[in-house]
Amino acid sequence: MSVLVYIEPREGKFKKYSFELVSYGQRVASALDQLLHILVIGKVAREELNSLGQYGATNIINVSEDIPFDDQVFTGIISNFAKQKEANVVVLAHSLTGRAIAPRLAIRLGAGLSTAVNGLPASYKPFIVNKKAFSGKTLVQQEITTEVKVLTLSQNTAGITEHSASPVIEEINSDAVASATKVVSTEVITGKVLLNEAEIIVSGGRGMRGPENWKPLEELAQILGAATACSRPVSDEGWRPHHEHVGQTGKVVAPSLYFALGISGAIQHLAGISSSKVIVAVNKDPEAPIFSAADYGIVGDLQSVLPKMTEAFRKFKAS
């Protein structure tokens, strides 16, 4: 029996989310007294793989080919290793890829699936996990009753633990089967921090008054190394692209720090940001519901507050 964690490199590097997944796997494996296997698909340098030892990786399987992503193909690769290593717990990120693979993988392994779990299992026997439902309006304790379990872990819910393992690295070919889907083109947004991975998000709402006022917001994001986002009315109005829409029907995010600028805080928006560690709200209406979700609040007009914020954070970063 073992624990298998699948992590995704991006351009040959690992992000913080991957370290959290490795740490998580280490803690689950040690609680179950089982071996931990980390599976990486894609070409990654040896040092980068070795660095996972800091988070408790002892055994790493690296399929060192750049295989175009396909739900079925990746499910096949991961399930093969899961079977080979007799994994009874398989952990993935609750990322776009993790979400795509996990349900297929669960069926292929005859496993029960729990997605977007928060933190470590509440119990291992029976296997009980915590998660949210109704878009964050309720917490659920769920038991997975099958022998094999597949989980996707919500970002920033388990934290990173430091270790000093020197991992054994196995480099393997995938024997990947041909995919039924064909990629015609790929478009990658470069030079921007991604919403799904961002530690800090600067988000604007209707209170920004118009697309022409986004410059200072983008400046603030740049200073903080943050991703930019927006509320639904803003993307519906076409002020910002749809992929920036955070909320119930848009993206659900879980950064350490979320700035809600000129966002009133409709229940659908709050559903998308409720997993943020810290929320800072700026709004001219002191009664705006966003303040009941925020940790820190400023009442004021963005036209004057935002430039002051940008200046102050610039100074802070420079010091």
Partner 1 sequence: MNIFVCISNVPDTTTRIKYKPGNKEVDYTGVQWIINPWDELALTRAIELKEANQAAIQKITVITVGKADAEPTLRKALAIGADDAIRVDVAPEDAYTTAVQLAEVLKSEKDALILSGVESSDFNSWSVGGMLAELLDAPSVSAVSSLNIEAGNVVVTREIEGGKQTITTTIPSVLIVQKGIAIIPRIPSMRGIMTARTKPLKVVQGIASQPMVKVLDYQAPAQKSSCRMIDPENIEELIDLLHREARVI
Interactions with partner 1, residue window 233-262 (CB under 8 A):
236, 242-243, 245, 248-250, 256-257
Identify which range of 27-35, 59-67, 207-215, 268-276 contacts partner 1 by CB under 8 A.
268-276
Report if residue 180 touches partner 1, rule: CB under 8 A. Answer: yes
| Alpha carbon distance 289, 111 (integer Å) | 41
State in angstroms the smallest separation of the CB of 178 from partner 1: 11
Interactions with partner 1, residue window 110-139 (CB under 8 A):
111-116, 128, 132-139
Q: Which residues contact 311 (CB under 8 A, 6 or more apart)?
A: none
Q: What is the 3-state secondary structure (H, E, C) of 101-157?
A: HHHHHHHHHCCEEEEEECCCCCECCCEEEEEEECCCCEEEEEEECCCCEEEEECCCC
Interactions with partner 1, residue window 72-91 (CB under 8 A):
72, 75
Interactions with partner 1, residue window 29-68 (CB under 8 A):
none
Per the CB < 8 A criterion, the answer to whether 230 and 240 are in contact is yes
Report if residue 182 touches partner 1, rule: CB under 8 A. Answer: yes
Report if residue 162 touches partner 1, rule: CB under 8 A. Answer: no
Of 29, 41, 24, give the one whose Cα is nearest residue 3: 29
State in angstroms the smallest separation of the CB of 179 from partner 1: 7
Per the CB < 8 A criterion, the answer to whether 10 and 143 are in contact is no
Name the residue nearer to partner 1 (CB basis): 45 or 107.
107
- Binding partner 1 (rule: CB under 8 A), the pick from 34, 64, 196, 228 is 196
Total residues at the site for partner 1 (CB under 8 A)? 95
Per the CB < 8 A criterion, the answer to whether 181 and 75 are in contact is no
